[in-house]
Amino acid sequence: MSYESFKGRDMLSLHDFTPQEIAVILDLAGKLKSKQKKGVPHPYLAGKTLGMIFQKSSTRTRVSFEVGMYQLGGRALYLNANDIQLGRGESIADTARVLSRYLDGIMIRTYAQADVEELARYADIPVINGLTDRLHPCQILADLQTIREHKGALPGLKLAYVGDGNNVCHSLLFGCAKTGMQISVASPPGYQPDEGIVALARQDAVQTGGRVEILNDPVQAVTAADVVVTDVWASMGQEAEQAVRAEVFTPYQVNEELVRHAKTDFIFLHCLPAHRGEEVAAAVIDGPHSVVWDEAENRLHAQKAVMALVMG
């Protein structure tokens, strides 16, 4: 498959990409990681500029995109939503039109998925979803890259996600379905993933031989899993629900007792930041099965692949 087929495209959701296209992204991410480790220059975006709009604060997203553009020979501009006219009432459409005249690409980390889609609709340059309340595609590309590095081929692997049916869970559903993996999600009643996203993921899985399971029992989900994943119980913007969620999710903590049901060589992933003693026990995230630091690093390489493909 030609890299040219990616040029000018948006990265809003993994559902928008074919299994073959996701494989191309992951292959390129691996090549770029190798070049970076060997000190081989790869200025594929020399002279180009990425605008980074942040309505939600970030550690990994900001640093990985900014460093990634630098390593690709380009430049990144940090645009806090409160510092640009978007935060003072200018429409998303007008912001998209103006930024398209200055920039070569936009990354946005915000709340509503509809805002990202509107930005992409009116922009003449690629728009990359850095996170919304609904989806987190760049994180899951890094997750898939990490799983491939530690487990080899993705098809046939079982991934267990235990916790809130949130943006990370939604994009994992798409990522696993598109790559022929089995994903078993265990969430409390009332906190399960969006039914529409589950339906789309199941359609994707039919094409790849993958499988999608939505459960309430974390033990059932984790049994014989190759990969175990969790996320915080209360995401950004849900702080007022923290006490209620802590009570509801306590039986869903990923701890040593739960992961005994996984395969003996399972790996543990968490998108970070993590709250030890809440969604995950310290013995798991800091234990020998944890690959969270590889996962965090791969945000850099996976996103470089996306930027090089859509902006290059």
- pLDDT by residue (tens digit) across 221-233? 999 999 999 999 9
Give the pLDDT score at 240. 76
Catalytic residue among 271, 289, 301, 303: 271
Tokens (6 digits) for 311:
């902006």
The answer to whether the CB of 126 falls within 8 A of the CB of 10 is yes
Strand bridging mode 227-230 / 158-162: parallel
217 is catalytic: no
Query: What whole-number distance in Å separates Cα of residue 108 and Cα of residue 132?
Result: 9
Q: Which of 26, 40, 275, 16 is nearest to 127 (CA)?
A: 16
109 is catalytic: yes
Backbone angles phi, psi at 15, to 5 degrees: -60, -25
Q: What is the CATH number of the domain that holds 99?
A: 3.40.50.1370
Tokens (6 digits) for 143:
């997750």
What is the domain extent for residue 153? 139-295
The verdict on 272 and 306 lying in the same domain is no
The verdict on 103 and 124 lying in the same domain is yes
Backbone angles phi, psi at 227, to 5 degrees: -135, 135
As for how many domains the chain has, the answer is 2
Known binding-site residues for L-ornithine equal: 167, 231, 235-236
Catalytic residue among 55, 71, 139, 303: 139
The verdict on 50 and 125 lying in the same domain is yes
Give the pLDDT score at 235. 77
The verdict on 179 and 115 lying in the same domain is no
The verdict on 174 and 214 lying in the same domain is yes
Low-confidence residues of the chain: pLDDT under 50: none
- In sequence order, what are the beta bridge partners of 109? 54, 131
The answer to whether the CB of 28 falls within 8 A of the CB of 309 is yes
The verdict on 11 and 118 lying in the same domain is yes
The verdict on 151 and 98 lying in the same domain is no
Q: Which of 127, 102, 129, 124 is nearest to 113 (CA)?
A: 129
The verdict on 160 and 48 lying in the same domain is no
The verdict on 245 and 275 lying in the same domain is yes
Catalytic residue among 9, 15, 36, 109: 109
The verdict on 175 and 201 lying in the same domain is yes
The verdict on 151 and 120 lying in the same domain is no
231 is catalytic: yes
Known binding-site residues for carbamoyl phosphate equal: 58-61, 85, 109, 136-139, 271-272, 299
Q: Which of 237, 258, 239 is nearest to 163 (CA)?
A: 258
Give the pLDDT score at 87. 66
pTM of the complete model: 0.97
Catalytic residue among 231, 245, 289, 301: 231
169 is catalytic: no
